[in-house]
Amino acid sequence: MIEELRAKAGKSVKENESLAPHTTMKVGGPAQFFLEAKTADEAAVAANAAKELGLPLFVFGGGSIMLVYDEGVKGLVIKMANRGLKIEGVSVTVDAGAPS
Protein backbone atom coordinates (compact mmCIF):
# COMPACT_ATOMS: atom_id res chain seq x y z
CA MET A 1 0.00 0.00 0.00
CA ILE A 2 2.83 2.45 0.83
CA GLU A 3 4.24 2.26 -2.70
CA GLU A 4 0.85 3.01 -4.24
CA LEU A 5 0.28 5.91 -1.83
CA ARG A 6 3.74 7.36 -2.54
CA ALA A 7 3.11 7.07 -6.28
CA LYS A 8 -0.08 9.12 -5.91
CA ALA A 9 0.79 11.47 -3.02
CA GLY A 10 4.57 11.87 -3.22
CA LYS A 11 7.72 10.13 -2.09
CA SER A 12 7.80 11.98 1.24
CA VAL A 13 4.94 9.87 2.67
CA LYS A 14 6.28 7.97 5.69
CA GLU A 15 5.02 4.75 7.22
CA ASN A 16 4.52 4.16 10.97
CA GLU A 17 5.63 7.69 11.88
CA SER A 18 5.37 8.47 15.60
CA LEU A 19 2.99 11.40 16.10
CA ALA A 20 4.38 12.27 19.55
CA PRO A 21 7.08 14.64 18.17
CA HIS A 22 4.42 16.39 16.07
CA THR A 23 2.19 17.41 19.00
CA THR A 24 2.72 19.89 21.83
CA MET A 25 1.96 17.21 24.46
CA LYS A 26 4.66 14.91 22.96
CA VAL A 27 2.55 11.77 23.45
CA GLY A 28 0.77 9.35 21.16
CA GLY A 29 1.28 6.44 18.85
CA PRO A 30 2.19 6.17 15.19
CA ALA A 31 0.37 7.19 12.05
CA GLN A 32 -0.03 4.30 9.62
CA PHE A 33 0.96 6.78 6.90
CA PHE A 34 2.19 10.36 7.46
CA LEU A 35 2.89 13.38 5.30
CA GLU A 36 4.11 16.81 6.34
CA ALA A 37 2.56 19.02 3.64
CA LYS A 38 4.37 22.26 2.89
CA THR A 39 1.61 23.63 0.65
CA ALA A 40 -2.16 23.41 0.45
CA ASP A 41 -1.79 21.87 -3.02
CA GLU A 42 0.46 19.11 -1.65
CA ALA A 43 -2.13 18.38 1.05
CA ALA A 44 -4.96 18.31 -1.52
CA VAL A 45 -3.10 15.83 -3.74
CA ALA A 46 -2.42 13.59 -0.74
CA ALA A 47 -6.03 13.84 0.47
CA ASN A 48 -7.28 12.84 -2.99
CA ALA A 49 -4.84 9.91 -3.02
CA ALA A 50 -6.16 8.73 0.36
CA LYS A 51 -9.72 8.95 -0.94
CA GLU A 52 -8.84 6.99 -4.10
CA LEU A 53 -7.18 4.29 -1.99
CA GLY A 54 -10.01 4.15 0.56
CA LEU A 55 -7.80 5.30 3.44
CA PRO A 56 -9.09 7.21 6.44
CA LEU A 57 -7.73 10.78 6.50
CA PHE A 58 -6.81 13.09 9.37
CA VAL A 59 -5.38 16.58 8.84
CA PHE A 60 -3.95 18.83 11.56
CA GLY A 61 -1.96 22.04 11.95
CA GLY A 62 0.54 22.69 14.73
CA GLY A 63 -0.49 19.76 16.92
CA SER A 64 -1.67 21.78 19.91
CA ILE A 65 -4.88 20.90 21.73
CA MET A 66 -4.57 17.38 20.35
CA LEU A 67 -4.07 13.97 21.93
CA VAL A 68 -3.23 10.87 19.89
CA TYR A 69 -4.17 7.34 20.94
CA ASP A 70 -1.18 5.25 22.02
CA GLU A 71 -2.41 2.64 19.51
CA GLY A 72 -1.90 5.19 16.74
CA VAL A 73 -4.00 6.34 13.82
CA LYS A 74 -5.06 4.23 10.82
CA GLY A 75 -4.89 5.77 7.36
CA LEU A 76 -3.12 8.91 6.20
CA VAL A 77 -2.28 11.70 8.63
CA ILE A 78 -1.35 15.04 7.07
CA LYS A 79 0.41 17.66 9.15
CA MET A 80 0.15 21.09 7.59
CA ALA A 81 3.60 22.66 7.54
CA ASN A 82 2.70 25.75 5.53
CA ARG A 83 3.35 28.71 7.80
CA GLY A 84 2.47 31.77 5.73
CA LEU A 85 0.97 34.94 7.15
CA LYS A 86 -0.39 37.83 5.07
CA ILE A 87 -1.84 41.10 6.38
CA GLU A 88 -3.73 43.41 4.04
CA GLY A 89 -5.42 46.29 5.83
CA VAL A 90 -7.77 44.72 8.37
CA SER A 91 -7.65 41.30 6.68
CA VAL A 92 -5.30 38.60 7.95
CA THR A 93 -4.72 35.33 6.09
CA VAL A 94 -2.90 32.58 8.04
CA ASP A 95 -1.86 29.21 6.64
CA ALA A 96 -3.03 26.10 8.53
CA GLY A 97 0.44 25.20 9.80
CA ALA A 98 1.28 28.64 11.23
CA PRO A 99 2.15 28.60 14.92
CA SER A 100 -0.38 30.20 17.22
99 domain residue, yes or no:
no
User: Distance between CA atoms of 16 and 35, rounded to whole angstroms?
Assistant: 11
Residue 100 lies in a domain: no
Report how far residue 97's alpha carbon sits from residue 5's, in angstroms, rounded to the nearest whole number: 23
Structural domain total, the chain: 1
User: Which residue type sits at 28?
Assistant: G
- Give the pLDDT score at 43: 93
H or E element, residue 35:
strand 30-37
Q: Is residue 47 part of a domain?
A: yes
Question: Quick one: angle between helices 2-9 and 40-53, nearest 10?
Answer: 140
Contact predicate 80/60, CB 8 Å: yes
Q: What is the pTM of this model?
A: 0.84
* pLDDT at residue 56 tops 90: yes
pLDDT, average across residues 24-40: 92
CATH number of the domain to which 26 belongs: 3.30.43.10
Structural domain containing residue 13: 2-94
